[in-house]
């Protein structure tokens, strides 16, 4: 069983992002970049399936600039077998990413495609769903458990009010929720070994996909700053401020 895992290069979740001074985008200069956390969970799940003897090959795919090779190499160090970079410097929308992944599905014929439920930079939560629609695969989104047997996948999904389990026939698209697993750290020997694993590059032109944007980013601005708080002298002053300034009691 072949597993394709989609990994996105994003600003590391510990970084406090800032807009560029002209508000045209987020400032990515000298900012630490990492694998999107939900994609790390996707890689971990794929690698566990390989370790269990369910998957035979795990292919990590990223769509982005040359530097996205770093996130593919990290996926290889975590246990993926080979990588594919769809190289583009354009800022792509989820539909364009889904089209690139669909083109790779046509080439690679995976049985399972695992993606994160969302990328923490754009918070779109769209790519997996769009890929499933384009490829005509069933989808199990927000997965907190994945069980594969006899050509089908049971995906337990975190929905409002509880857990829902769906049974899907391979090939399928699965998107990962936070509680699916706890990703491992890459060991130094595995980081070294990952350097020798195959990593192919293709362009969006070679895949023949239309990546023209359908939306236009108007501006990026920081949230409004909160006014500083004050320390009150005593309870009487607190009550007075709540009653007469905040007018909440």
* Interface with ligand AMP (CB under 6 A): 6-8, 36, 38-39, 42, 61-64, 94, 97, 115-116, 118-119, 122, 124-128
Nearest to 204 by CA among 58, 104, 122: 104
50 vs 117, beta carbon nearer ligand AMP: 117
Closest distance of CB 142 from ligand AMP, Å: 11
In eight-state DSSP terms, residue 101 is H
Closest distance of CB 96 from ligand AMP, Å: 9
Q: How many CA atoms lie within 13 A of 208 on its CB side?
A: 4
Indicate the residue whose CB is closest to ligand AMP. Answer: 116
122 vs 241, beta carbon nearer ligand AMP: 122
What is the β-pairing status of strands 112-116 and 2-6? parallel
Closest distance of CB 246 from ligand AMP, Å: 38
37 vs 138, beta carbon nearer ligand AMP: 37
> What is the rounded distance in angstroms from the CA atom of residue 96 to the CA atom of residue 131?
10
Which tokens sit at 98?
A: 């889904």
Closest distance of CB 144 from ligand AMP, Å: 16
- Torsion, CA 183, CA 188, CA 194, CA 195, rounded to 10: 140
39 vs 153, beta carbon nearer ligand AMP: 39
């Amino acid at each position: 069983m072949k597993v394709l895992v989609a990994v996105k290069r994003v600003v590391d979740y510990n970084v406090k992002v800032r807009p560029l001074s002209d508000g045209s985008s987020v400032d990515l200069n000298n900012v630490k970049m990492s694998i999107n956390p939900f994609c790390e969970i996707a890689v971990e799940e794929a690698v566990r399936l390989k370790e269990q003897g369910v998957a035979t090959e795990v292919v990590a795919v990223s769509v982005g600039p040359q530097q996205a090779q770093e996130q593919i190499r990290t996926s290889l160090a975590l246990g993926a077998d080979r990588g594919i970079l769809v190289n583009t410097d354009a800022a792509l929308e989820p539909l364009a990413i889904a089209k690139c992944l669909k083109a790779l599905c046509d080439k690679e014929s995976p049985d399972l495609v695992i993606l994160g439920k969302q990328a923490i930079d754009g918070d779109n939560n769209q790519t997996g769903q769009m890929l499933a629609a384009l490829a005509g695969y069933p989808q199990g989104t927000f997965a907190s458990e994945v069980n594969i047997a006899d050509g089908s996948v049971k995906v337990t999904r975190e929905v409002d009010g509880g857990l829902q389990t769906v049974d899907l026939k391979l090939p399928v698209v699965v998107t990962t929720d936070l509680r699916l697993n706890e990703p491992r750290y890459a060991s130094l020997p595995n980081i070294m070994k990952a350097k020798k694993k195959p990593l192919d590059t293709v362009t969006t032109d070679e895949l023949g996909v239309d990546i023209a944007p359908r939306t236009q980013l108007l501006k990026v601005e920081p949230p409004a700053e909160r006014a500083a708080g004050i320390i009150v002298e005593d309870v009487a002053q607190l009550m007075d401020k709540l009653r007469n300034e905040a007018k909440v009691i």
